[in-house]
Amino acid sequence: MLRVSLALVFTSSVAIAKPYIPTDDTVVLERLPERTEPSLRELKRMRATLAVNPRDLDAATAVAQRAIEASRANGDPRFLGQAQAALAPWWNSKDPPPRALLLRATIRQSQHDFDGALADLDRLIASDPRAAQARLVRATVRTVVGRYAEAQSDCRALAPLAPPLIVAGCLAGPTSLSGDAAAAYDVLTSALARPGGDAGAVEWALTLAGEIAARSGRAADAERHFRQALLLDPRDAYLRAAYADFLLDAGRARDALRVTGDDLRNDTLLLRAVLAERLLDDHRAAYSAHRAEMEARFDAARLRGDSLHRREEARFRLWVDGDNRGALALARDNWKVQREPADLRILVDAARAANDAEAMHIATEWMAQTRMQDVALVTAMGAPR
C-alpha cells in the first residue's frame, strides 16, 4: 500500500480483523518481540502507564502512534489492535477529539476499512480545512482505492500547508497512476534535487520515485532511487519489499534475496525471500523452511481471525503453491478493496494462469479507464499462457 510520508504521519498497510480468542487459556499463538527490541519495551511501558488512566488523551494518542509505528516496522497487525485499544474511550464516539479522530482514521486505513477512514477524514477536514495530516492521509486512501482526481485535489490543497517535497510526493502517486507518469516523476525528482528536507520525507520520496521509474521502464533510475533510499533507512520494510519486487521482475532473484536480508519477521519480506529462493537451486533448504514458515503465518492469521493481505497470499498461492484458482479468488477479493498497481498485477497474473477472461477484462478496463502506465503490467498482460 502507498505510504504516507513519515514527516507528517505514520501508517501501516497490514489488515486486521476480529481477533481469535482461544478457549484454553494456556494456548500461546505467538510471542511479540518485546524482549528483544527497546522500542517495543518502551511501548509496553507506555501501555502500562495508560492503563492507570485510560482517558488520558496525551498518553492514549502517544501509545496509539507508537503502536502504529511498531505495526509498520514489524509487519504485525496485532500492534494495530494495541493502537485501537489505546483509543478505546473514543473509538465509537461520533465526535472524538481531533487527534484521536486522525489516529482512528489512520488505523482504519491500515485495517483496510477505507470507507470508515474516509468518513473520519472528511469530518476532520470539514472542521479544519488546514489539517495537513488529514489531507495527506485522505489523499493516500483515495489513491489506494483509485480515486485519483480527488486525491490530487487534496494534494494541491497541501501546497500552503506542507513542505514542497511533501506536496510533490503526495501528487506523484495519483498523477503517475492516471496517465501522466513522466510529469509526476519530473516534478518529484526536481523537488528531491532541492537541498534540505527531512530525512524521512526524502527517503519516502526516493521510494516513490523508484516505484514510478520502475513502472515507466526506467530501470537504471529506479535502482538508483531505491539504493539512495536504502542509504537513508536500510531497515524500511516497505522500501525493501518494493526494491525486491523490482529485482524479481528483472530476473535478479539473488539480488532480491540480499535486499530482503536475514530479518524476516515482516511477512512481506518473508514472502519476497520465498519468491527469490524458489528460483535459486543453492537455496533449496532455506526455501523449504521459509515456505513452511510463510504457510504457518497464513494459518496463524486465519486462527486469529486476521485477514493478512489477500494480495500477498494470492502471490504465494500462485507462484509457490501453483494454486491458480485459489490465487485468483484471493486476487479478486483483494481488488474489491484496494486498487494499487500491485493489486492489479496479481489479478492479471492469476487471471492469465487460470485462463479467466472475465478477470482479465476487469484489468484491461481499469488500465484503459485510468490510462495507467506500467511496463510490467503490460508485459504480464501479453505474456503467453
Contact between 297 and 252 (Cβ < 8 Å): no
Q: If you average pLDDT over residues 285-303, what whole number do you get?
A: 92
| Of residues 246 and 37, more confidently modeled | 246
Q: If you average pLDDT over residues 17-35, what whole number do you get?
A: 39
User: 158 in a domain, yes or no?
Assistant: no
Q: If you average pLDDT over residues 334-338, what whole number do you get?
A: 94
User: 371 in a domain, yes or no?
Assistant: yes
Contact between 105 and 137 (Cβ < 8 Å): yes
User: 304 in a domain, yes or no?
Assistant: no
Taking Cα atoms as reference points, which of 28, 113, 47 lies closest to residue 85?
47
Same domain, 146 and 1: yes
Computed on alpha carbons and rounded to an integer, the radius of gyration of the chain in Å comes to 20
User: 156 in a domain, yes or no?
Assistant: no
pLDDT of res. 2? 55
Same domain, 31 and 96: yes
Same domain, 4 and 140: yes
Other residues' Cβ atoms within 10 Å of the Cβ of residue 49? 12
Same domain, 197 and 125: no
pLDDT of res. 111? 87
Q: Which of 4-18, 69-83, 310-324 has the lowest mean pLDDT?
A: 4-18
Same domain, 9 and 88: yes
Confidence category of residue 23, pLDDT binned at 50, 70, 90 = very low
Name residue, grid cell 518494493: 242
Q: Which of 111-120, 315-324, 376-385 has the lowest mean pLDDT?
A: 376-385
Q: Which of 2-6, 158-162, 327-331 has the lowest mean pLDDT?
A: 2-6
Other residues' Cβ atoms within 10 Å of the Cβ of residue 18? 9
**HSE of 130, CA atoms in CB hemisphere, 13 A:** 2
Last residue of a domain, one of 298, 317, 332: 298
DSSP state at residue 33: G
At 105-139, the pLDDT tens digits run 999 998 889 999 999 999 999 999 999 999 999 99
Same domain, 12 and 129: yes
Q: In the chain, how many domains are there?
A: 4
Confidence category of residue 16, pLDDT binned at 50, 70, 90 = very low
Dist. CA 301–CA 287, nearest whole Å: 21
Confidence category of residue 13, pLDDT binned at 50, 70, 90 = very low
pLDDT of res. 5? 45
Q: Which of 216-220, 260-264, 330-334, 338-342 has the lowest mean pLDDT?
A: 260-264
What is the pTM (predicted TM-score) of this model? 0.87
Q: Mapping DSSP to helix (H, G, I), strand (E, B) and coil, where does residue 279 land?
A: coil
Same domain, 188 and 83: no
Same domain, 217 and 246: no
pLDDT of res. 21? 33
Q: What is the mean pLDDT of the chain?
A: 88
Share of the chain above pLDDT 70, in %: 88
pLDDT of res. 1? 53
Same domain, 120 and 2: yes
At 214-225, the pLDDT tens digits run 999 999 999 999
φ, ψ at 216 (rounded to 5°): -90, 0
Same domain, 4 and 147: yes
Question: In the chain, helix, strand, coil percent, each to 5?
Answer: 70, 0, 30
pLDDT of res. 35? 52
Taking Cα atoms as reference points, which of 277, 288, 234, 263 lies closest to residue 74?
263
The residue segments making up the domain with residue 261 are 240-298
Residue 285, amino acid: A
Contact between 346 and 314 (Cβ < 8 Å): yes
Same domain, 270 and 287: yes
Same domain, 363 and 346: yes
pLDDT of res. 328? 98
pLDDT of residue 329 exceeding 60, the answer is yes
